[in-house]
Amino acid sequence: MTKMWEELALIQPTVLRMLKNSLIKGRVAHAYLYEGMRGTGKKEIGLLLAKSILCQERIEGYKPCETCHNCKRINHGNHPDLHLVEPDGLSIKKGQIQALQGEFAKTGVESKNKIYMIVHADKMTTNAANSLLKFLEEPHSGTVAILITEQVQKMLPTILSRCQIIGFTPLSPKNMEKQLITHGVNLEMAPLLAHLTNNLEEALEMHEDDWFVQAQKIVVKLYEVLKKNPLEAMVNLQENWFSHFKEKEQIDRGLDLFLLIFKDLLYIQLDKKDQVVFLSESSRLEQFALQTSGRRLTEQMESILEAKRKLHANMNPQLLMEELVLKLQEGSSLV
């Protein structure tokens, strides 16, 4: 089921306002380039614009009705006047663009409008991009192009100059929290997920992932043993951390979770408990916060950020974590 106008307006209010004005005034551009990071609603809003253009019973002059024949066919992915082009393997090839041009040489099957969406438009080969350029320079009447990319810098400047470029902004944590809650994530987990990613799909996948549930417990346990002797912390690393956080991406995620614990402790000390995200551990964190200082927490957060930098510079993960644990224990018997 595709998303409704109101739902997408919560994610990208500026983009939806712009499209609403264009539809009401009858000034829809012949070519758009939607650019922004993954998970910001680009493809969904592309489909929404296509529905608005092809809808037979538009509401308030801009919203698709979702019930007419055209809306239903787009929702089911089989409208003959909406063409979707995606990479064939690693790239979009010249033949795919030529096939698209062949389709558009015919008259609209069900309406005077025809729409094409090119997903990952930055993955067009040079020949494909040049074929598309000719298409953009001489658009057929009633044709609307929607190009979608996460890497606008890889697009040909000549293509960019022929499109209305619309930037999609990442979701704010608060906005992401609301989205997660509407998708069934509980109130306790939503803030944590929202601070780990601004990609809705990724957040929902994490929520369903047993690995992620276990990861949270391991990270909290590691914080607890930091307050004990160095040997116990090293044993915990060997027995729990290294067996769970194996891949580079997993270690990075673990460090992000670890960092959020220290941030939460700092927020508790600053009496900003409404900003705490590890809600499932809030009562324990309040106890931990009594046992440390703000300055110490700031130093420890810097150590974790430094560990993340070293991880991305390909330092040995085991040495990196052992070094981090020793640093986090330095200078104070109270962590």
Segment 37-52 shows an average pLDDT of: 92
Q: Which residue has the tokens 């998303």?
A: 3
Cβ atoms of 304 and 324 within 8 Å: the answer is yes
Cβ 245 vs Cβ 258: under 8 Å: no
Rounded-to-10 torsion of CA 183, 189, 191, 194: -60
Domain annotation for the chain: domains and CATH numbers: 5-167 (3.40.50.300), 209-329 (1.20.272.10)
What pLDDT shows up at residue 2?
Answer: 57
Q: Long-range contacts for 200-203 (Cβ within 8 Å, ≥24 apart)?
A: 200/11, 200/39, 200/171, 200/176, 201/38, 201/39, 202/39, 203/176
Tell me the pLDDT band of 1, cut-offs 50, 70 and 90. Answer: very low
Q: What is the DSSP letter of 122?
A: G
pLDDT digits (tens, 9 = 90+) for 216-268: 999 999 999 988 777 888 999 999 999 999 999 999 999 999 999 999 999 99
pTM, two decimals, is 0.69
* % of the chain surpassing 90 pLDDT: 77
**DSSP assignment, residue 149?**
E
In tens, the pLDDT along 89-147 reads: 999 999 999 999 888 877 655 568 899 999 999 999 999 999 999 889 887 778 999 99
Alpha helices in the chain (DSSP H): 5-11, 13-25, 42-54, 69-75, 94-105, 126-137, 157-160, 173-182, 190-196, 200-207, 210-226, 230-236, 242-244, 248-269, 282-289, 294-312, 317-329
